[in-house]
């Protein structure tokens, strides 16, 4: 079965942000930054309270609480800005190019403007479904993006289920 679609910048952005959110290393670094700075500011607040410098103590405790709650939002916005710039610089030639995905019984063939890839079914690791896209993930770590708004979703799922490939449902991811 053949599916034709165009990959846009928002599809690449969704892919990168999803992979970052799934990365254990990046999640661990985010948590370290979130908790360590909050605790450091809290300790400074307690230190100033112990020396009767209440205004400084309150200020540091307020900064600690604000950091704890607002750091994830700031980090998410910073990552999004980073990946928008990264995509604009490095993926100009891949954006808005037409891609043809042909799902066969033994292989998947993906043809775009720059290349043609024939992938044996045994090389597929899993297919990740988000609210806007499917990500075909290979055992080698490479992934292919299939935007949902440009294909027949039910037919695509039917083809994937026939191949008995593991599906990861991440439709609630944001």
Residue 133 contacts residue 147 (beta carbons within 8 Å): yes
166 confidence band (pLDDT: 50, 70, 90): confident
pLDDT the model gives residue 45: 95
Domain boundary at 37, 55, 90, which? 90
Q: What is the pLDDT of residues 99-129, one digit of tens each?
A: 999 988 888 999 988 788 899 988 999 999 9
User: What is the secondary structure of 7-22 as a DSSP string?
Assistant: E-HHHHHHHHHHHHHH
Q: What is the pLDDT of residues 51-102, one digit of tens each?
A: 889 999 999 999 999 999 999 999 999 999 999 999 999 888 778 888 999 9
Helix (H) or strand (E) holding 167: strand 167-169
pLDDT the model gives residue 1: 83
Domain boundary at 90, 124, 141, which? 90
Q: What is the pLDDT of residues 10-66, one digit of tens each?
A: 999 999 999 999 899 999 999 999 999 999 999 999 999 998 899 999 999 999 999
Nearest to 113 by CA among 13, 4, 12: 4
| Measured distance CA(147)–CA(97) in Å, rounded | 13
Domain count within the chain: 2
pTM of the model: 0.83
Residues 59, 37, single domain; the answer is yes
């Amino acid at each position: 079965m053949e599916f034709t679609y165009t990959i846009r910048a928002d599809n690449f952005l969704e892919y990168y942000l999803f992979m970052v959110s799934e990365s254990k290393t990046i999640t661990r670094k985010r948590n370290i930054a979130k908790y360590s700075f909050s605790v450091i500011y809290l300790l400074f607040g307690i230190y100033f309270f112990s020396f009767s410098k209440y205004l400084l103590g309150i200020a540091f405790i307020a900064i600690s609480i604000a950091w704890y709650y607002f750091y994830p939002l700031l980090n998410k916005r910073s990552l999004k800005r980073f990946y928008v710039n990264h995509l604009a610089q490095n993926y100009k030639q891949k954006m808005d190019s037409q891609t043809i995905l042909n799902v066969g019984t033994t292989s998947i063939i993906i043809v775009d403007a720059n290349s043609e890839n024939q992938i044996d079914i045994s090389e597929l690791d899993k297919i990740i479904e988000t609210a806007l896209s499917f990500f075909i993930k290979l055992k080698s770590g490479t992934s292919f993006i299939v935007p949902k708004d440009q294909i027949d979703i039910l037919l695509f799922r039917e083809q994937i289920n026939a191949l008995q490939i593991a599906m990861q449902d991440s439709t609630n991811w944001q």
